[in-house]
Amino acid sequence: MTLATLTAGFIALWMLFSRESGATAGCDSVLEGYQCQPELSHAWGQYSPYFKVPSEISSDVPSHCHVAFAQVLSRHGARDPTMSKTLAYSQVIGKIKSKVRIFQGDFAFLANYSYTLGADQLTDFGKRELVNSGRAFFNRYEDLAKNTLPFVRASGQPRVIDSAQEFNKGFHREKTAGGTQDDEYPYSVTVISEADGSNNTLDHGLCTAFETSNISSTAQATYASVFTPSITARLNANLPNASLTLTDTILIMDLCPFETVVSSSSNLSPFCALFTRAEWKQYDYYQTLGKYYGYGAGNPLGPTQGVGFVNELVARLTGKPVVDHTSVNRTLDTNPNTFPLGRSLYADFGHDNDMTAVFAALGLYNSTLPLSTTHTMTVEEMHGYSAAWTVPFAARAYFEKLQCDGEEEEMVRVLVNERVLPLESCGGDTLGRCMLGRFVESLGFAQAGGYWNQCFEESGERGDVEVA
């Protein structure tokens, strides 16, 4: 046997291992996601990197079923902070550096630290998250994917479009891993504009009363006054003369995930060590309050922002035209080139806020009781609802249509970051499945347009709604 033959054989075995195990450098992998110090990194709210969420129901496709249809709804990958946040982070670091003369212990790194983060763009880490997502999607639905391509849409932000393209790279990588030719690559992406006034089911903005709501900021401010004072006191004791506020404390906590996802190493940012595991759980809950009372069931108009996408999902599941009078872009959705029906694979890319609204419109977390703003609730008490578990960077929700032995009607399952949801609203069975007809029937809120009629009432301000 020649050296060339041995080398070729080794490479083939390595590729097989890599594909089957999802192996990736460091502690981030295709199948498991980010597993670096999970007791911390899985408690960063929507700023957590993607990770596989624990599931009481096996995420494997049931042995007597096969997938006939799969839709992924994905958040973009890890990014730099938004422009307003990057300015705020720069200011708080500037304040510390100008007032503090000695940095000791866990704070010693600040002596040589400079704030250099950009704004809004996908990081290299975020790109890798989406490549991994495309690989995972192909491997999970290989029986469909080896013979077809997903129809891909993206909301019009550059980081979202870039995420869709990175997903396509990962999908293509797996599709051609066995030597299969793929002349259609690069795959096309249908982009939905985010310009003011544009109808877009992957980005909110049209509902006037909702856009002026301040429920989430009120809820978060109430809880911040509960959990941050002791942390702020400790920071000020270690950073004499900094005079940090409660708001500054949260900004400094934010820097832990953002500095981590711009690093090329598997090490967490030194900002992370400034806070305890218990404090990170409180931080995760703080961020969860923002989603729940901003775009979820805690906001009377939150679920309505997800109605348009739900009605598109119904159309794809049933093969019938979209029926919607809310955020659907009818120019695109009535054109079979930009909204084709009858496909077996679909992939849509958007933002965490809009995914939160979609989950609420679907009723996926109806068992979650109203979230308290005066004490921390655990993810178990919230029945699996937390910002980190639902909408981390590169979050992925799978909607599957199954054909199962012994069942005349097709069935539906929903997985959010590999956690199979019980689908209680349509009578889900022990495998998390509902009959397609019952699943569609359970979406009456969305099919009726939610509370879209309240979006443009002059008295539609929702900021004074009491929260628990």
Distance (Å, rounded) from C-alpha 164 to C-alpha 166? 5
Q: How many CB atoms lie within 10 A of CB 7?
A: 10
DSSP state of 415: E
Query: Helix (H, G, I), strand (E, B), or coil: what is residue 439?
Result: helix
Distance (Å, rounded) from C-alpha 363 to C-alpha 110? 45
Q: Which residues are part of the catalytic machinery? A: 76, 352
Distance (Å, rounded) from C-alpha 172 to C-alpha 180? 10
Torsion-angle region of 20 (φ positive above 0: left; ψ -120 to 50: alpha; else: beta): alpha
Half-sphere exposure of 236 (CA within 13 A, CB side): 14
Q: In sequence order, which residues have a C-beta less than 8 Å from that of residue 271 and are 6 or more positions away? A: 252, 253, 255, 256, 259
120 touches 82 (CB < 8 A): yes
DSSP state of 316: H
Distances (CA, A) of 34 to 17, 30, 170, 333, 445: 19, 9, 17, 36, 35
